[in-house]
Amino acid sequence: MDRRALLGGLAATGGLGLAGCTTAGANSAALTSRPTGPTIRLAPLRAEMGRVFDISVCLRPFRPAGPRLDTEQVGDTLVVHNYGHGGSGWSLSWGSSAIAARKALAGSPSSVAVLGCGPLGMTSAILAQSAGAKVTIYARETMPDVPSIRATGSFTPDSRIALADHVDAGFPDLWEQMARTSLKRFGSLLGLAGDPVRWTDRYLVSDGPPAGPRQRGPEELQFASYFSRLRDVFPRAETLPPGATPFGDAVVRRESNIMFNLASYTHTLLTGFRGAGGRIEQREFHTPADLAALPEKVVINCTGLGSKALFGDQTMVPVRGQIAWLIPQREFDYGLYYRGVNVNPRTDGICVQAISGGDMRGYGDDSLAPNRQEAEESIASLAALYAKFGQV
């Protein structure tokens, strides 16, 4: 109930002592009348190619069997693997790295090396450091130049995490453990300066009744899906009444999700790691034998797609993703999905990503060249939606 309607109800019962006022009767209808127009106020997106300041491409490191979390001995060095999370690296990072750090610290080493400075590398390093080890990160690229910084920044813990028929029987439980461990850590970062982690609403807008489940094509792979295991944490999506939003007669569903403002989030991670004495050294490795030159004899490998060449993991598959970046709008503070286009509001830019075509989109594509036509089509679709925004 809005404030005006509440006051009207109290006045009618004398709850605020207004019954004796001479204007109470005259204003009664105004006080109790329902507001007109949308009840949910949303700012319009300025969807214009002229506001696109960058088009970035990144490759997700996918493994059909899911993330690699085993160990191997390379000479006198113990290597703990922590890579291959598909589109779920940021989302599962704390949970996956907790497993990797526990294996790395089993022999109580005084120092640990981490290969890679992406989400898995940073969280593995922080967790090993917090357990008392001296940690050095070795990486070819450091923040903010690592490829994963170009991700959308949404909590998507089962996004191309594995193929349903390639995982072992215990993997769903392991996935849930990683997801819940990560969620607990993300909760501790809510409300910090810069909003590194926050909850946002997302609106799924369609021009007609929602379509049924998308049918998989004969050549499409069946990717594992486990998000339903977290339904006790995430509110269910709700269909909003017609006219409740400025999207007019469109069918609108609302859901809530966690989002990472990656510029501030990575700054938070780096500041904490370095503040506790962590060190980062730029170095490139070409073969496992190169690890012999490191002073640390326990290594956590978080090199993502680089593990295909470095450790000979031929199961790795690149999955291409592209984002068109719109200039940030402080007032635009909600996520959106419309006609196969996903929009995420971040403080460092508004992400616009074409995701139509299902999980096979970009599968096996290692091209890093931006596709301007894809960006133009996505922006045009959004521009058409917002041209009618606010019209009843």
Per-residue pLDDT tens over the stretch 147-185: 899 999 999 999 999 999 999 999 999 999 999 999 999
Burial class (CB in 10 A: 0-12, 13-18, 19+), 281: exposed
Q: Tens digits of per-residue pLDDT, 336-352?
A: 999 999 999 999 999 99
The answer to whether position 40 is within a domain reads: no
3 state DSSP class of 222: coil
Residue 302 pLDDT more than 80?
yes
Q: How far is CA 332 from the centre of its chain?
A: 18
The answer to whether position 78 is within a domain reads: yes
In contact, 240 and 252? CB cutoff 8 Å = yes
How high is the pLDDT of residue 63?
98
In contact, 355 and 203? CB cutoff 8 Å = no
**Structural domain boundaries, residue 290:** 49-387
Using a cut of 0.75, tell me whether the model's pTM lies above it: yes
The answer to whether position 28 is within a domain reads: no
- 36 pLDDT band (50/70/90 cuts)? low
The answer to whether position 332 is within a domain reads: yes
3 state DSSP class of 319: strand
Q: Tens digits of per-residue pLDDT, 184-200?
A: 999 999 999 999 999 99
**Domain count of the fold of the chain:** 1
Q: Which residue has the tokens 């060190």?
A: 279
Tally DSSP H helices, then E strands, for the chain.
8, 14
How far apart, in whole angstroms, are the C-alpha atoms of residue 167 and residue 212? 27
Q: What is the average pLDDT score of the chain?
A: 90
The answer to whether position 240 is within a domain reads: yes
When comparing pLDDT for 182 and 5, which is higher? 182
Residue 31 pLDDT more than 60?
no
Least confidently predicted of 111-120, 132-141, 208-217, 362-371: 208-217
Beta carbons within 8 Å of 29's beta carbon, 6+ residues apart: none
Q: 131 φ, ψ to 5°?
A: -85, 0
How high is the pLDDT of residue 191?
95
3 state DSSP class of 35: coil
The answer to whether position 12 is within a domain reads: no
The winner for highest mean pLDDT among 5-9, 303-307, 354-358 is 303-307
The answer to whether position 29 is within a domain reads: no
Q: Tens digits of per-residue pLDDT, 265-288?
A: 999 999 999 999 999 999 999 999
The answer to whether position 19 is within a domain reads: no
Task: Give me the helices (H) in the chain, please.
Answer: 3-13, 24-32, 89-104, 119-130, 171-187, 262-275, 307-310, 372-387
When comparing pLDDT for 321 and 11, which is higher? 321
